Structure 1
Amino acid sequence: MLGLRVAAAALLPLRCGAPAAAMSTLLVSQPRYAWLRELGLQEENPGVYNGRWGGGGQVVTTFCPANNQPIASVRQANLEDYEETVKKAKEAWKVWADIPAPKRGEIVRQIGDALRQKIKVLGSLVSLEMGKIFVEGVGEVQEYVDVCDYALGLSRMIGGPVLPSERPGHALIEQWNPLGLVGIITAFNFPVAVYGWNSAIAMICGNACIWKGAPTTSLISVAVTKIIAKVLEDNKVPGAICSLVCGGADIGTAMARDERMDLLSFTGSTKVGKQVALMVQERFGRSLLELGGNNAIIVFEDADLNLVIPSALFAAVGTAGQRCTTVRRLFLHESIHDEVVAKLAKAYAQVRIGDPWDSDTLYGPLHTREAVKMFLDAVEQAKQQGGSVVCGGKVINRPGNYVEPTIVTGLPHDAPIVHTETFAPILYVLKFKEEEEVFAWNNEVKQGLSSSIFTKDLGRIFRWLGPKGSDCGIVNVNIPTSGAEIGGAFGGEKHTGGGRESGSDSWKLYMRRST
């Protein structure tokens, strides 16, 4: 993976100066960024695809978080574009649903191969537009590739049992059929992988998809769709099977309220997710929600600190704290609290901060200027509530949206700021005495996505995994909260939304069952 970063140096930009808005100063127009053309990107790009490219809505320019320079523009969808796209996707579904599932799986496999051929340049775009370091950008594309491989095998396995009947000469057959049209709304922090989790599985199940990515990562949505569209066209199936509608809240609201949308998968904040859920439920529709996470790591006195320090560091500062699985609460047994804080602060001081495309960088910028303000507000609230900043807490004096990775101690477990998910690299370190209390503290926040304990006590491990342990959808032992494998179902409980994506039996959410 590290080799990919070095090999892609020619694809990535030099450090840049102040932002500029003129067409000639868009990054896509500059020779150093000529690699963007390999993805079919221009100065202005159509943001609607339904078998053909178009768009009649607002033109939105996206910016590089590392220097706040404009990259290129996307003409988004208006409501007329959305209406046309829904109609074309519904028509495309009639063709797609008749194709045998293994054949659908083969086409999805080809999508994975096409992504694999563009993995470095697409990973570079993720780094440029989202802001995560290049190795993470490539890893995100790889995850979509892996899901396509997984979906290929799954396409020969979806089905239900034949059950014994109480009536002589009868049998009960559990039949699974596609829902029809699946809407997919994704967030800025994983602009490729989350769409892959949803679309690859939805497609082999026989559904057509309409995707609305985050407006701030519209170029990634366009580039990914161009790759998919070519595969569909080469296979002589309707391109509208994987439609795209770049847009803002008006398009998202239309998707949530549209009775033709048989399933709406939404990834984003708990606040917006609640609004989406209410709109979908009002029409008795189906929703799949992947929302926030206020994740915790619990470190007991018998833990191996050689595992704890790098795990907590990676989980807290990876993707600059902008993962839904980022650790935000670190519970330390009181007997090891001071030792762990000192070692962790030393590790934080060694984190290499820089441009996300530099091969030595481990920590890049926040996605937007608004995120920087949220970071500063959270640090100030933590201080006002009695917290002490051990390290970090400030904006870094350089171009872009850079802030210092931050450790805060001295807060009670139930401080308001501790119970608030802040999408930033702020780690609240908290003391505990007993297992029972800290398990309860892990569960007392509204979200329930990911959690982890570090211990060598087997009894404690099984209590953690059991009914009185963690109430999260992802429960880890001696590993970080961040990171998940595609073969398992990904998702969380409570205000995280309850949805499950990717592996295990998540495919059932994209189908309807009849007996």
Structure 2
Amino acid sequence: MTTVTDPTAVLSTVPTGLLIGGQWRDASGGGTFEVLDPATGEVLTSVADATPEDGMAALDAAAAAQAEWAATAPRTRAELLRAAWELTIERADDLATLMTLEMGKPLADARGEVTYGAEFLRWFSEEAPRINGRYQTAPEGTLRILTTKRPVGPCLFITPWNFPLAMATRKIAPALAAGCTTILKPANATPLTALAFGQILREVGVPDGVVNIIPTNTAQPVTGPIIQDRRLRKLSFTGSTAVGSALLKEAADNVLRTSMELGGCAPFLVFEDADLDAAVAGARLAKLRNMGEACTAANRLYVHRSIADDFANALTENFRGLRVGPGIEEGTDVGPLISEDQRSKVVELVSAARDGGARVLLGGDPVDGPGYFYPPTVLTDVPTDSPVMTEEIFGPVAPIATFESEEEVIALANGLDVGLAGYIFTNDMQRVLRLSERLEVGLVGVNTGLISNAAAPFGGVKHSGLGREGGVEGIEEFLETIYVGIPAT
């Protein structure tokens, strides 16, 4: 890809085939599927539609490359990842344009994702040479205990449509750093960014077969045989809890290592002593980033009754002036949702909240015209058992309920099966410590609406998943610990 931002020019440089064994190829059956622009509903381009045979060819390539890649010096792996980081940053405008075209997010959000996604390449380039073990004397003095780490082996990654670059880099970077080969099955709604990233990895010299990319419009028939094959040793998935649960059942038959980053329904807690301006700014960031189509999005806002009206009115005014439109246009604040199905789900949730007694302070109805647009929406007086408070919205809707006490809001926040992210706004640091210990989530944001960072472990508890991505913990998901016992004599 050249450094341009013209959409037509960017699209013309993106590979549209399968990346298998270091070669771009057509699907074995010759099939393709269309990629749509959610801002218009029009076709952007078509890409190869991988078949089960293509999936097995990708596994063949990954398995064939595994031994040599595992034996590659950590510094060499690190330098390749560093080079990929540099080239990704160099092509930031192109990648941002591409993400906006296929996913809809505003260019500002897309540029932020390039920075965030690229950082996993840099972070894990620095972790690759730091893989280590330990040496100690057994308590009885009869043995020397030696531990070492080795890569788990070929990995299958299944990524979602909402962060098409960051979800790829967050999985591929630690795997490559650890010495694992990979197969990436990107979401069928947004395969182009993954293919462009695959081209970057090819250009910087990642060896053939180490990264394979197989977009497909029929996931299970392609991924199912891969998951069942004994050569695969790791499965990582980001997406819904329902699909993750089904994949865990598949993975169990092959006793695969798994990482699951699943659904969320993040509680956003605003206490009576909170800085109101900071809470509103944090709510906007945690709610409207990516049009609310983020697993960490503030899904249910619990505000202390004493300040609930002030908070709701301030949030409404903050949202009121935002521009809704195609993400590709500079100045757009809120782009389209990914599909008509997703917009229909948001419409249903808001309608159910209205029927249950919620008041609409702003928005509340889909935008007419082409594309899948829904405006920033603020709901107040929302019953705590309304579906808009208990189901993941994945849209720019902020439902507000009130609470009276810390115990009450903890019970509300912990009352669902999911537990990915949570947010606390208060100036009482003792309360922060208490709530951080009691909130059943894997990520806690304190007086901020944006907490994801490549240097921090990302993952949930309960039905929100297993394992962690990012941080020093992230590379451990791709390593086996081996113990060697040596007589002390």
Q: Is the TM value for this pair above 0.5? A: yes
Once the two structures are TM-superposed, the CA of residue 126 in structure 1 deviates from its matched residue by 0.5
Q: Does 2:191 correspond to 1:218? A: yes
Alignment of 1:103-502 (within 5 A): 103-168=76-141, 170-232=143-205, 237=207, 239-247=208-216, 248-249=218-219, 250-466=221-437, 469-480=438-449, 482-502=450-470
TM-score (norm. length: structure 1): 0.89
CA distance in 2, matches of 1:385, 1:282: 44
Q: Is the 8 A contact 2:304 2:403 kept in 1?
A: yes
Q: Is the 8 A contact 2:55 2:223 kept in 1?
A: no
CA distance in 1, matches of 2:124, 2:431: 36
Partner amino acid, structure 2, of 1:427: A
Query: Partner residue of 2:481?
Result: 513
Query: Partner residue of 1:3?
Result: none
Q: Alignment partner of 1:330: what SS?
A: strand
Q: Is the 8 A contact 1:48 1:246 kept in 2?
A: no
CA distance in 2, matches of 1:312, 1:66: 25
Once the two structures are TM-superposed, the CA of residue 462 in structure 1 deviates from its matched residue by 1.1
CA distance in 2, matches of 1:254, 1:395: 41
Q: Is the 8 A contact 2:358 2:380 kept in 1?
A: yes
CA distance in 2, matches of 1:35, 1:285: 38
Partner amino acid, structure 2, of 1:508: E
Once the two structures are TM-superposed, the CA of residue 170 in structure 1 deviates from its matched residue by 3.1
Once the two structures are TM-superposed, the CA of residue 12 in structure 1 deviates from its matched residue by 4.0
Q: Does 2:50 correspond to 1:56? A: no
RMSD: 1.6
CA distance in 2, matches of 1:417, 1:150: 37
Query: Partner residue of 1:34?
Result: 9
The answer to which structure, 1 or 2, has the higher relative contact order (CA under 8 A, 6+ apart) is: 2
Partner amino acid, structure 2, of 1:201: P
TM-score (norm. length: structure 2): 0.94
Partner amino acid, structure 2, of 1:113: E
**Gap regions ≥5 residues in structure 2:** 484-489
Partner amino acid, structure 1, of 2:227: A
CA distance in 2, matches of 1:243, 1:128: 23
Query: Partner residue of 1:504?
Result: 472
Query: Partner residue of 1:30?
Result: none
Once the two structures are TM-superposed, the CA of residue 440 in structure 1 deviates from its matched residue by 1.7
Once the two structures are TM-superposed, the CA of residue 155 in structure 1 deviates from its matched residue by 1.2
Aligned residues: 477
CA distance in 2, matches of 1:345, 1:166: 64
Q: Which moved more, 1:47-56 or 1:173-182?
A: 47-56
Once the two structures are TM-superposed, the CA of residue 463 in structure 1 deviates from its matched residue by 0.5
**Gap regions ≥5 residues in structure 1:** 1-7, 14-32
Once the two structures are TM-superposed, the CA of residue 186 in structure 1 deviates from its matched residue by 0.4
Q: Is the 8 A contact 2:379 2:398 kept in 1?
A: yes
Q: 1:83 aligns with which of 56, 77, 99?
A: 56
CA distance in 2, matches of 1:258, 1:173: 32
Deviations 1:308-333 (A, max 9, x none): 11111121122111011110111110
